[in-house]
Chains A and B, each alone.
Chain A
Protein backbone atom coordinates (compact mmCIF):
# COMPACT_ATOMS: atom_id res chain seq x y z
CA UNK A 1 0.00 0.00 0.00
CA UNK A 2 1.75 3.14 -1.20
CA UNK A 3 0.89 6.30 0.60
CA UNK A 4 2.01 9.73 -0.50
CA UNK A 5 3.02 11.94 2.43
CA UNK A 6 2.09 15.52 1.57
CA UNK A 7 4.47 17.25 4.00
CA UNK A 8 7.43 14.89 3.81
CA UNK A 9 7.00 15.02 0.01
CA UNK A 10 7.58 11.39 -0.69
CA UNK A 11 5.74 8.16 -0.97
CA UNK A 12 6.14 5.39 1.59
CA UNK A 13 4.83 1.92 2.13
CA UNK A 14 1.90 2.44 4.48
CA UNK A 15 2.16 -1.02 6.02
CA UNK A 16 5.75 -0.41 7.09
CA UNK A 17 4.78 2.81 8.86
CA UNK A 18 1.78 1.19 10.56
CA UNK A 19 4.05 -1.69 11.56
CA UNK A 20 6.60 0.75 12.95
CA UNK A 21 3.85 2.40 14.97
CA UNK A 22 2.64 -0.99 16.20
CA UNK A 23 6.14 -1.97 17.30
CA UNK A 24 6.59 1.18 19.37
CA UNK A 25 3.01 0.88 20.57
CA UNK A 26 3.64 -2.59 21.95
CA UNK A 27 6.73 -1.26 23.71
CA UNK A 28 4.84 1.67 25.16
CA UNK A 29 2.05 -0.58 26.37
CA UNK A 30 4.50 -3.02 27.91
CA UNK A 31 6.90 -0.60 29.50
CA UNK A 32 4.89 2.57 29.91
CA UNK A 33 7.25 4.64 27.78
CA UNK A 34 6.11 6.68 24.80
CA UNK A 35 8.26 4.83 22.33
CA UNK A 36 9.32 8.01 20.56
CA UNK A 37 12.94 7.10 21.15
CA UNK A 38 12.49 4.25 18.66
CA UNK A 39 10.08 5.80 16.16
CA UNK A 40 12.15 8.85 15.30
CA UNK A 41 15.42 7.06 14.49
CA UNK A 42 13.64 4.29 12.60
CA UNK A 43 11.71 6.79 10.49
CA UNK A 44 14.91 8.68 9.70
CA UNK A 45 16.52 5.38 8.79
CA UNK A 46 13.58 4.69 6.43
CA UNK A 47 14.30 7.93 4.59
CA UNK A 48 11.85 10.40 6.09
CA UNK A 49 13.42 13.85 6.58
CA UNK A 50 14.59 14.20 10.24
CA UNK A 51 12.52 17.30 10.99
CA UNK A 52 9.32 15.71 9.71
CA UNK A 53 10.12 12.53 11.64
CA UNK A 54 10.65 14.36 14.94
CA UNK A 55 7.59 16.57 14.45
CA UNK A 56 5.25 13.72 13.58
CA UNK A 57 6.56 11.34 16.24
CA UNK A 58 5.38 13.73 18.95
CA UNK A 59 1.74 13.30 17.95
CA UNK A 60 2.18 9.55 17.96
CA UNK A 61 3.32 9.76 21.59
CA UNK A 62 0.24 11.85 22.39
CA UNK A 63 -2.01 9.11 21.04
CA UNK A 64 -0.14 6.35 22.83
CA UNK A 65 -0.33 8.12 26.21
CA UNK A 66 -4.05 9.03 26.10
CA UNK A 67 -5.40 5.66 27.15
CA UNK A 68 -2.66 5.34 29.77
CA UNK A 69 -3.66 8.63 31.34
CA UNK A 70 -7.31 7.52 31.47
CA UNK A 71 -6.36 4.24 33.10
CA UNK A 72 -4.21 5.91 35.74
CA UNK A 73 -6.82 8.61 36.37
CA UNK A 74 -9.41 5.97 37.17
CA UNK A 75 -7.24 4.45 39.84
CA UNK A 76 -6.15 7.83 41.23
CA UNK A 77 -2.58 7.56 40.03
CA UNK A 78 -2.18 11.12 38.83
CA UNK A 79 -0.97 14.01 40.99
CA UNK A 80 -2.64 16.85 39.10
CA UNK A 81 -0.92 19.59 41.07
CA UNK A 82 2.52 18.16 40.35
CA UNK A 83 1.43 17.38 36.79
CA UNK A 84 0.27 20.94 36.20
CA UNK A 85 3.60 22.38 37.40
CA UNK A 86 5.49 20.00 35.14
CA UNK A 87 3.23 20.73 32.17
CA UNK A 88 3.85 24.46 32.69
CA UNK A 89 7.58 23.76 32.67
CA UNK A 90 7.17 21.50 29.65
CA UNK A 91 5.46 24.22 27.65
CA UNK A 92 8.23 26.69 28.50
CA UNK A 93 10.66 23.94 27.48
CA UNK A 94 9.07 23.41 24.06
CA UNK A 95 9.39 27.15 23.45
CA UNK A 96 13.08 27.07 24.40
CA UNK A 97 13.54 23.86 22.44
CA UNK A 98 12.06 25.47 19.37
CA UNK A 99 14.52 28.39 19.63
CA UNK A 100 17.36 25.95 20.10
CA UNK A 101 16.12 23.93 17.12
CA UNK A 102 16.19 27.00 14.86
CA UNK A 103 19.65 28.08 16.01
CA UNK A 104 21.12 24.61 15.61
CA UNK A 105 19.49 24.20 12.23
CA UNK A 106 21.07 27.42 11.03
CA UNK A 107 24.42 26.22 12.28
CA UNK A 108 23.87 22.91 10.51
CA UNK A 109 24.48 20.97 13.72
CA UNK A 110 20.96 19.83 14.57
CA UNK A 111 21.50 16.23 13.42
CA UNK A 112 24.73 15.85 15.34
CA UNK A 113 23.23 17.31 18.50
CA UNK A 114 20.20 15.03 18.25
CA UNK A 115 22.44 12.00 17.72
CA UNK A 116 24.72 12.85 20.64
CA UNK A 117 21.71 13.47 22.89
CA UNK A 118 20.34 10.08 21.92
CA UNK A 119 23.61 8.31 22.63
CA UNK A 120 24.20 10.02 25.98
CA UNK A 121 20.64 9.82 27.28
CA UNK A 122 19.75 6.36 26.06
CA UNK A 123 23.17 5.03 26.97
CA UNK A 124 23.15 6.29 30.53
CA UNK A 125 19.52 5.53 31.30
CA UNK A 126 19.65 2.15 29.59
CA UNK A 127 22.77 1.35 31.57
CA UNK A 128 21.14 2.34 34.86
CA UNK A 129 18.04 0.31 34.11
CA UNK A 130 20.05 -2.73 33.09
CA UNK A 131 22.17 -2.55 36.26
CA UNK A 132 19.13 -2.20 38.47
CA UNK A 133 17.17 -5.02 36.89
CA UNK A 134 20.14 -7.39 36.93
CA UNK A 135 20.62 -6.64 40.63
CA UNK A 136 16.99 -7.36 41.38
CA UNK A 137 16.96 -10.55 39.32
CA UNK A 138 19.98 -11.71 41.29
CA UNK A 139 18.33 -10.78 44.53
CA UNK A 140 15.26 -12.76 43.52
CA UNK A 141 17.37 -15.83 42.77
CA UNK A 142 19.49 -15.71 45.90
CA UNK A 143 16.47 -14.91 48.01
CA UNK A 144 18.18 -11.96 49.74
CA UNK A 145 16.08 -8.88 49.07
CA UNK A 146 17.86 -5.63 48.27
CA UNK A 147 17.50 -3.07 51.02
CA UNK A 148 14.68 -0.78 50.01
CA UNK A 149 15.91 2.60 48.94
CA UNK A 150 14.86 5.40 51.20
CA UNK A 151 12.41 7.58 49.36
CA UNK A 152 13.84 10.97 49.63
CA UNK A 153 14.40 13.87 47.33
CA UNK A 154 17.80 14.95 46.19
CA UNK A 155 19.61 17.45 48.48
CA UNK A 156 19.73 19.97 45.65
CA UNK A 157 15.94 19.95 45.49
CA UNK A 158 15.78 20.73 49.20
CA UNK A 159 17.93 23.83 48.74
CA UNK A 160 15.50 25.48 46.33
CA UNK A 161 13.45 28.36 47.74
CA UNK A 162 9.66 28.33 48.26
CA UNK A 163 7.89 25.15 49.25
CA UNK A 164 4.55 23.69 48.27
CA UNK A 165 2.73 20.69 49.57
CA UNK A 166 2.08 18.02 46.95
CA UNK A 167 -0.30 15.74 48.83
CA UNK A 168 -0.64 12.89 46.39
CA UNK A 169 3.09 12.68 45.79
CA UNK A 170 3.68 12.89 49.53
CA UNK A 171 6.11 15.77 49.13
CA UNK A 172 6.80 19.19 50.61
CA UNK A 173 9.23 20.67 48.12
CA UNK A 174 9.85 23.70 46.00
CA UNK A 175 7.73 23.76 42.81
CA UNK A 176 10.84 24.97 40.99
CA UNK A 177 12.23 21.43 40.96
CA UNK A 178 9.38 19.85 38.95
CA UNK A 179 9.21 23.03 36.86
CA UNK A 180 12.86 22.67 35.86
CA UNK A 181 12.36 18.98 35.21
CA UNK A 182 9.40 19.88 32.99
CA UNK A 183 11.48 22.43 31.10
CA UNK A 184 14.19 19.86 30.49
CA UNK A 185 11.84 17.25 29.11
CA UNK A 186 10.06 19.91 27.03
CA UNK A 187 13.35 20.75 25.33
CA UNK A 188 14.09 17.07 24.73
CA UNK A 189 10.62 16.48 23.31
CA UNK A 190 10.99 19.34 20.88
CA UNK A 191 14.47 18.33 19.74
CA UNK A 192 14.20 14.57 19.67
CA UNK A 193 10.54 13.83 19.10
CA UNK A 194 10.44 11.70 22.23
CA UNK A 195 7.95 11.95 25.06
CA UNK A 196 10.70 11.85 27.63
CA UNK A 197 9.02 9.22 29.78
CA UNK A 198 12.19 7.25 30.26
CA UNK A 199 13.93 10.40 31.55
CA UNK A 200 10.99 11.60 33.61
CA UNK A 201 10.18 8.43 35.50
CA UNK A 202 13.64 7.91 37.04
CA UNK A 203 13.98 11.63 37.68
CA UNK A 204 10.64 11.75 39.50
CA UNK A 205 11.57 8.73 41.57
CA UNK A 206 15.16 9.54 42.46
CA UNK A 207 15.47 13.32 42.18
CA UNK A 208 12.05 14.47 43.34
CA UNK A 209 11.42 11.40 45.46
CA UNK A 210 7.74 11.10 44.53
CA UNK A 211 5.76 8.18 45.84
CA UNK A 212 5.89 5.35 43.32
CA UNK A 213 2.15 4.89 42.84
CA UNK A 214 1.70 8.32 41.20
CA UNK A 215 4.94 8.44 39.22
CA UNK A 216 3.83 6.68 36.02
CA UNK A 217 0.40 8.30 35.89
CA UNK A 218 1.79 11.78 36.48
CA UNK A 219 4.57 11.35 33.94
CA UNK A 220 2.03 10.15 31.34
CA UNK A 221 -0.13 13.17 32.21
CA UNK A 222 2.82 15.50 31.64
CA UNK A 223 3.85 13.72 28.44
CA UNK A 224 0.32 13.94 27.05
CA UNK A 225 0.19 17.70 27.37
CA UNK A 226 3.78 18.40 26.47
CA UNK A 227 3.62 16.35 23.27
CA UNK A 228 0.44 18.24 22.39
CA UNK A 229 2.33 21.50 22.91
CA UNK A 230 5.19 20.14 20.83
CA UNK A 231 2.88 19.28 17.97
CA UNK A 232 1.46 22.79 18.11
CA UNK A 233 4.93 24.33 18.26
CA UNK A 234 6.10 22.33 15.25
CA UNK A 235 2.92 23.16 13.34
CA UNK A 236 3.54 26.86 13.99
CA UNK A 237 7.30 27.05 13.46
CA UNK A 238 8.75 24.23 11.36
CA UNK A 239 5.48 23.34 9.53
CA UNK A 240 6.82 19.81 9.55
CA UNK A 241 3.95 17.84 11.11
CA UNK A 242 2.80 15.36 8.49
CA UNK A 243 -0.72 14.45 9.47
CA UNK A 244 -0.86 11.50 7.09
CA UNK A 245 2.35 10.08 8.51
CA UNK A 246 1.17 10.74 12.07
CA UNK A 247 -2.18 9.03 11.43
CA UNK A 248 -0.48 5.93 10.06
CA UNK A 249 1.85 5.80 13.05
CA UNK A 250 -1.07 6.34 15.41
CA UNK A 251 -3.09 3.59 13.81
CA UNK A 252 -0.30 1.16 14.59
CA UNK A 253 0.74 2.51 17.96
CA UNK A 254 -2.66 2.90 19.63
CA UNK A 255 -3.58 -0.68 18.85
CA UNK A 256 -0.07 -1.88 19.63
CA UNK A 257 -0.24 -0.14 23.00
CA UNK A 258 -3.33 -2.16 23.94
CA UNK A 259 -1.67 -5.41 22.94
CA UNK A 260 1.45 -4.45 24.85
CA UNK A 261 -0.59 -3.69 27.96
CA UNK A 262 -2.03 -7.23 27.83
CA UNK A 263 1.49 -8.67 27.62
CA UNK A 264 2.65 -6.55 30.53
CA UNK A 265 0.08 -8.04 32.86
CA UNK A 266 1.45 -11.53 32.30
CA UNK A 267 5.21 -10.92 32.34
CA UNK A 268 7.37 -10.22 35.36
CA UNK A 269 8.10 -6.49 35.73
CA UNK A 270 11.79 -7.00 36.46
CA UNK A 271 12.36 -9.00 33.29
CA UNK A 272 10.35 -6.46 31.32
CA UNK A 273 12.64 -3.73 32.60
CA UNK A 274 15.72 -5.70 31.60
CA UNK A 275 14.33 -6.20 28.09
CA UNK A 276 13.57 -2.49 27.79
CA UNK A 277 17.07 -1.67 29.03
CA UNK A 278 18.56 -3.92 26.35
CA UNK A 279 16.46 -2.32 23.60
CA UNK A 280 17.42 1.15 24.77
CA UNK A 281 21.11 0.23 24.88
CA UNK A 282 20.93 -1.30 21.40
CA UNK A 283 19.44 1.90 19.97
CA UNK A 284 22.12 3.96 21.75
CA UNK A 285 24.86 1.66 20.46
CA UNK A 286 23.58 1.85 16.91
CA UNK A 287 23.53 5.64 17.07
CA UNK A 288 27.02 5.78 18.56
CA UNK A 289 28.29 3.64 15.68
CA UNK A 290 26.55 5.99 13.28
CA UNK A 291 28.49 8.90 14.72
CA UNK A 292 31.83 7.17 14.47
CA UNK A 293 31.61 5.43 11.11
CA UNK A 294 31.99 7.29 7.89
CA UNK A 295 28.44 7.92 6.71
CA UNK A 296 27.34 6.76 3.24
CA UNK A 297 26.59 10.28 2.29
CA UNK A 298 28.69 13.08 3.70
CA UNK A 299 26.78 15.87 1.98
CA UNK A 300 23.42 17.27 3.01
CA UNK A 301 21.30 19.97 1.44
CA UNK A 302 19.06 22.43 3.22
CA UNK A 303 17.08 25.27 1.72
CA UNK A 304 18.64 28.66 2.30
Chain B
Protein backbone atom coordinates (compact mmCIF):
# COMPACT_ATOMS: atom_id res chain seq x y z
CA UNK B 1 0.00 0.00 0.00
CA UNK B 2 2.81 2.34 1.00
CA UNK B 3 4.59 1.77 -2.27
CA UNK B 4 1.56 2.65 -4.30
CA UNK B 5 1.06 5.75 -2.26
CA UNK B 6 4.68 6.78 -2.75
CA UNK B 7 4.39 6.19 -6.46
CA UNK B 8 1.27 8.29 -6.65
CA UNK B 9 2.95 11.05 -4.71
CA UNK B 10 5.96 10.87 -6.99
CA UNK B 11 3.74 11.19 -10.02
CA UNK B 12 1.90 14.11 -8.54
CA UNK B 13 5.18 15.90 -7.85
CA UNK B 14 7.03 15.27 -11.08
CA UNK B 15 4.38 14.58 -13.61
CA UNK B 16 6.99 12.87 -15.78
CA UNK B 17 6.01 10.44 -18.49
CA UNK B 18 8.90 8.12 -17.88
CA UNK B 19 8.07 4.84 -16.25
CA UNK B 20 8.88 4.04 -12.67
CA UNK B 21 11.00 1.12 -11.57
CA UNK B 22 10.33 -0.59 -8.29
CA UNK B 23 13.32 -2.90 -7.81
CA UNK B 24 13.93 -5.44 -5.10
CA UNK B 25 16.64 -7.96 -4.31
CA UNK B 26 15.87 -11.32 -2.73
CA UNK B 27 18.43 -10.72 0.00
CA UNK B 28 20.25 -7.58 1.01
CA UNK B 29 22.91 -9.41 2.93
CA UNK B 30 24.94 -12.34 1.68
CA UNK B 31 26.67 -14.08 4.56
CA UNK B 32 29.89 -15.93 3.91
CA UNK B 33 30.19 -18.63 6.51
CA UNK B 34 30.50 -22.38 6.90
CA UNK B 35 28.40 -24.12 4.30
CA UNK B 36 28.49 -21.21 1.88
CA UNK B 37 29.16 -22.58 -1.57
CA UNK B 38 27.84 -19.69 -3.56
CA UNK B 39 24.31 -18.45 -3.84
CA UNK B 40 21.79 -17.09 -6.28
CA UNK B 41 20.35 -13.62 -5.96
CA UNK B 42 16.95 -12.89 -7.38
CA UNK B 43 16.70 -9.34 -8.67
CA UNK B 44 13.11 -8.56 -9.41
CA UNK B 45 10.63 -5.75 -9.47
CA UNK B 46 8.01 -3.94 -11.45
CA UNK B 47 7.87 -1.34 -14.24
CA UNK B 48 4.96 0.98 -13.88
CA UNK B 49 3.64 4.05 -15.58
CA UNK B 50 3.76 7.19 -13.48
CA UNK B 51 0.06 6.67 -12.79
CA UNK B 52 1.00 3.52 -11.03
CA UNK B 53 -0.61 1.17 -13.47
CA UNK B 54 0.79 -1.44 -15.77
CA UNK B 55 3.00 -0.05 -18.52
CA UNK B 56 1.19 -0.57 -21.76
CA UNK B 57 4.38 -1.03 -23.73
CA UNK B 58 7.37 -3.34 -23.73
CA UNK B 59 10.39 -2.03 -21.95
CA UNK B 60 13.74 -3.71 -22.11
CA UNK B 61 15.14 -4.37 -18.69
CA UNK B 62 18.84 -4.53 -17.87
CA UNK B 63 20.05 -5.57 -14.45
CA UNK B 64 23.64 -5.02 -13.29
CA UNK B 65 25.16 -6.28 -10.05
CA UNK B 66 28.53 -4.76 -9.33
CA UNK B 67 30.98 -5.43 -6.52
CA UNK B 68 33.33 -2.84 -5.02
CA UNK B 69 36.07 -1.64 -7.37
CA UNK B 70 39.72 -2.29 -6.58
CA UNK B 71 43.09 -1.06 -7.72
CA UNK B 72 44.87 -4.05 -9.20
CA UNK B 73 47.96 -5.02 -11.13
CA UNK B 74 47.13 -7.17 -14.10
CA UNK B 75 50.05 -9.24 -15.34
CA UNK B 76 50.42 -11.00 -18.63
CA UNK B 77 52.57 -14.07 -19.17
CA UNK B 78 54.70 -14.34 -22.26
CA UNK B 79 57.08 -16.99 -23.43
CA UNK B 80 60.61 -15.85 -22.61
CA UNK B 81 63.52 -18.21 -23.24
CA UNK B 82 61.25 -21.23 -23.37
CA UNK B 83 59.25 -20.63 -20.23
CA UNK B 84 56.09 -18.69 -19.54
CA UNK B 85 56.73 -15.82 -17.17
CA UNK B 86 54.98 -12.59 -16.29
CA UNK B 87 56.41 -10.21 -18.84
CA UNK B 88 53.98 -7.33 -19.16
CA UNK B 89 51.71 -5.63 -16.68
CA UNK B 90 49.31 -2.77 -16.31
CA UNK B 91 47.75 -1.07 -13.32
CA UNK B 92 44.02 -0.59 -13.21
CA UNK B 93 42.51 1.82 -10.75
CA UNK B 94 38.90 0.68 -10.85
CA UNK B 95 38.48 -2.97 -11.69
CA UNK B 96 35.17 -4.25 -10.34
CA UNK B 97 35.72 -7.21 -8.04
CA UNK B 98 32.45 -8.65 -9.30
CA UNK B 99 30.26 -7.75 -12.26
CA UNK B 100 27.16 -9.47 -13.55
CA UNK B 101 24.79 -8.18 -16.17
CA UNK B 102 21.52 -9.68 -17.31
CA UNK B 103 19.17 -8.26 -19.90
CA UNK B 104 15.88 -9.12 -21.53
CA UNK B 105 17.52 -9.14 -24.99
CA UNK B 106 21.16 -8.96 -26.14
CA UNK B 107 22.59 -5.59 -25.08
CA UNK B 108 23.63 -4.72 -28.63
CA UNK B 109 19.97 -4.97 -29.73
CA UNK B 110 18.75 -2.78 -26.90
CA UNK B 111 21.11 0.20 -26.85
CA UNK B 112 23.80 1.63 -29.10
CA UNK B 113 27.49 1.49 -28.19
CA UNK B 114 27.57 5.02 -26.88
CA UNK B 115 24.78 4.44 -24.37
CA UNK B 116 26.25 1.11 -23.39
CA UNK B 117 29.60 2.80 -22.72
CA UNK B 118 28.03 5.59 -20.66
CA UNK B 119 26.11 3.24 -18.39
CA UNK B 120 28.83 0.52 -18.46
CA UNK B 121 26.37 -1.99 -19.83
CA UNK B 122 28.39 -5.09 -20.60
CA UNK B 123 31.84 -6.46 -19.97
CA UNK B 124 33.16 -4.66 -23.07
CA UNK B 125 32.36 -1.32 -21.54
CA UNK B 126 33.86 -1.61 -18.08
CA UNK B 127 35.67 1.56 -17.03
CA UNK B 128 38.90 0.11 -15.67
CA UNK B 129 40.85 3.41 -15.49
CA UNK B 130 44.36 2.22 -16.40
CA UNK B 131 47.17 4.23 -14.87
CA UNK B 132 49.68 5.94 -17.13
CA UNK B 133 49.69 6.29 -20.89
CA UNK B 134 48.84 3.03 -22.59
CA UNK B 135 48.13 2.66 -26.25
CA UNK B 136 44.54 1.64 -27.04
CA UNK B 137 45.43 -1.74 -28.53
CA UNK B 138 47.39 -2.79 -25.51
CA UNK B 139 44.67 -1.50 -23.22
CA UNK B 140 42.06 -3.51 -25.11
CA UNK B 141 44.22 -6.62 -24.87
CA UNK B 142 44.61 -6.22 -21.13
CA UNK B 143 40.94 -5.53 -20.48
CA UNK B 144 39.85 -8.54 -22.47
CA UNK B 145 42.44 -10.54 -20.50
CA UNK B 146 40.94 -9.37 -17.20
CA UNK B 147 37.42 -10.12 -18.40
CA UNK B 148 38.42 -13.57 -19.60
CA UNK B 149 40.19 -14.38 -16.33
CA UNK B 150 37.28 -13.28 -14.17
CA UNK B 151 34.74 -15.00 -16.39
CA UNK B 152 36.51 -18.28 -15.76
CA UNK B 153 36.53 -17.56 -12.02
CA UNK B 154 32.81 -16.91 -12.23
CA UNK B 155 33.26 -13.33 -11.03
CA UNK B 156 32.24 -11.66 -14.30
CA UNK B 157 29.01 -12.79 -15.92
CA UNK B 158 26.92 -11.80 -18.88
CA UNK B 159 23.48 -13.29 -19.41
CA UNK B 160 21.72 -12.17 -22.54
CA UNK B 161 18.04 -12.88 -22.08
CA UNK B 162 18.69 -13.44 -18.37
CA UNK B 163 15.82 -11.10 -17.52
CA UNK B 164 12.26 -12.24 -18.00
CA UNK B 165 9.47 -9.69 -18.15
CA UNK B 166 5.95 -10.83 -17.39
CA UNK B 167 2.80 -9.07 -18.51
CA UNK B 168 4.84 -5.91 -19.20
CA UNK B 169 4.99 -5.34 -15.45
CA UNK B 170 7.05 -7.80 -13.49
CA UNK B 171 10.63 -8.56 -14.30
CA UNK B 172 13.07 -10.91 -12.69
CA UNK B 173 16.66 -12.05 -13.13
CA UNK B 174 18.69 -14.65 -11.31
CA UNK B 175 22.32 -13.84 -10.70
CA UNK B 176 24.78 -16.31 -9.32
CA UNK B 177 27.43 -15.50 -6.74
CA UNK B 178 30.23 -18.10 -6.60
CA UNK B 179 31.86 -19.13 -3.33
CA UNK B 180 34.93 -17.01 -4.04
CA UNK B 181 32.88 -13.83 -4.16
CA UNK B 182 34.75 -10.88 -2.58
CA UNK B 183 33.28 -9.06 0.39
CA UNK B 184 31.99 -5.51 0.31
CA UNK B 185 29.05 -3.36 -0.64
CA UNK B 186 27.50 -4.32 -3.97
CA UNK B 187 25.15 -2.18 -6.00
CA UNK B 188 22.29 -3.69 -7.93
CA UNK B 189 21.17 -1.36 -10.69
CA UNK B 190 18.14 -1.78 -12.87
CA UNK B 191 17.63 0.08 -16.13
CA UNK B 192 14.46 0.31 -18.18
CA UNK B 193 15.17 1.02 -21.84
CA UNK B 194 12.81 2.09 -24.51
CA UNK B 195 13.82 2.77 -28.14
CA UNK B 196 17.49 2.76 -27.26
CA UNK B 197 17.11 5.31 -24.49
CA UNK B 198 17.49 4.61 -20.78
CA UNK B 199 14.20 5.95 -19.46
CA UNK B 200 14.40 4.89 -15.85
CA UNK B 201 16.93 3.50 -13.48
CA UNK B 202 16.98 2.52 -9.86
CA UNK B 203 19.54 0.99 -7.61
CA UNK B 204 19.74 -0.84 -4.34
CA UNK B 205 22.52 -2.28 -2.24
CA UNK B 206 23.59 -5.75 -1.29
CA UNK B 207 26.20 -6.34 1.35
CA UNK B 208 28.45 -9.38 1.03
CA UNK B 209 30.11 -10.05 4.35
CA UNK B 210 31.75 -12.68 6.44
CA UNK B 211 29.79 -13.69 9.47
CA UNK B 212 30.34 -15.42 12.76
CA UNK B 213 33.48 -17.45 13.23
CA UNK B 214 34.72 -16.78 9.67
CA UNK B 215 34.59 -13.06 10.28
CA UNK B 216 36.28 -13.47 13.63
CA UNK B 217 39.10 -15.50 12.07
CA UNK B 218 39.62 -13.04 9.21
CA UNK B 219 39.70 -10.09 11.63
CA UNK B 220 41.99 -11.93 13.99
CA UNK B 221 44.43 -12.79 11.19
CA UNK B 222 44.42 -9.25 9.86
CA UNK B 223 44.67 -7.32 13.12
CA UNK B 224 46.45 -9.60 15.57
CA UNK B 225 49.01 -11.33 13.37
CA UNK B 226 51.28 -12.35 16.23
CA UNK B 227 48.59 -13.97 18.37
CA UNK B 228 47.07 -15.59 15.29
CA UNK B 229 50.45 -17.04 14.33
CA UNK B 230 50.90 -18.40 17.85
CA UNK B 231 47.47 -19.99 17.66
CA UNK B 232 48.27 -21.61 14.32
CA UNK B 233 51.57 -22.95 15.69
CA UNK B 234 49.83 -24.21 18.82
CA UNK B 235 47.12 -25.96 16.81
CA UNK B 236 49.65 -27.70 14.58
CA UNK B 237 51.90 -28.84 17.44
CA UNK B 238 48.91 -29.99 19.51
CA UNK B 239 47.42 -31.95 16.64
CA UNK B 240 50.73 -33.60 15.79
CA UNK B 241 51.34 -34.51 19.42
CA UNK B 242 47.79 -35.76 19.96
CA UNK B 243 47.92 -37.98 16.89
CA UNK B 244 51.18 -39.50 18.11
CA UNK B 245 49.59 -40.20 21.48
CA UNK B 246 46.39 -41.66 20.06
CA UNK B 247 48.21 -43.98 17.69
CA UNK B 248 50.51 -45.13 20.45
CA UNK B 249 47.41 -46.46 22.23
CA UNK B 250 46.28 -48.54 19.26
Contacts and interface: CB of A to CB of B under 8 A. Distances in A.
Interface stretch (B2-10, B22-30, B189-197, B224-232): B224-232
B179 A11 contact: yes
Contacts of A66: 236-237, 240-241, 244
A90 to B, nearest CB: 14
B218 A7 contact: yes
Interface residues of B, number: 62
B74 A231 contact: no
A64 B146 CA distance: 39
A6 B73 CA distance: 23
Contacts of A62: 233, 236-237, 240
Contacts of B95: 301
B240 A65 contact: yes
B108 interface: no
Interface stretch (B34-42, B55-63, B117-125): B34-42
A291 B83 contact: yes
A239 B75 contact: no
Interface residues of A, number: 56
Interface of B: 32-38, 70-79, 82-86, 89, 91, 95, 142, 145-146, 148-150, 152, 179-180, 182-183, 210, 213-215, 217-218, 221-222, 225-226, 228-233, 235-237, 239-244, 247
Interface of A: 2-4, 6-7, 9-11, 59-60, 62-67, 70-71, 108-109, 111-112, 116, 228, 231-237, 239, 241, 243-244, 246-247, 250-251, 254-255, 257-258, 291-295, 297-304
For the complex of A and B, the 10 pairs showing the least CB-CB separation, nearest first, are: A235-B229, A66-B240, A67-B244, A254-B243, A11-B179, A63-B240, A299-B145, A304-B71, A258-B247, A10-B180
Given A232-B229, A241-B232, A292-B82, 8 more contacts: A2-B179, A11-B36, A11-B37, A62-B240, A63-B237, A63-B239, A246-B232, A251-B239
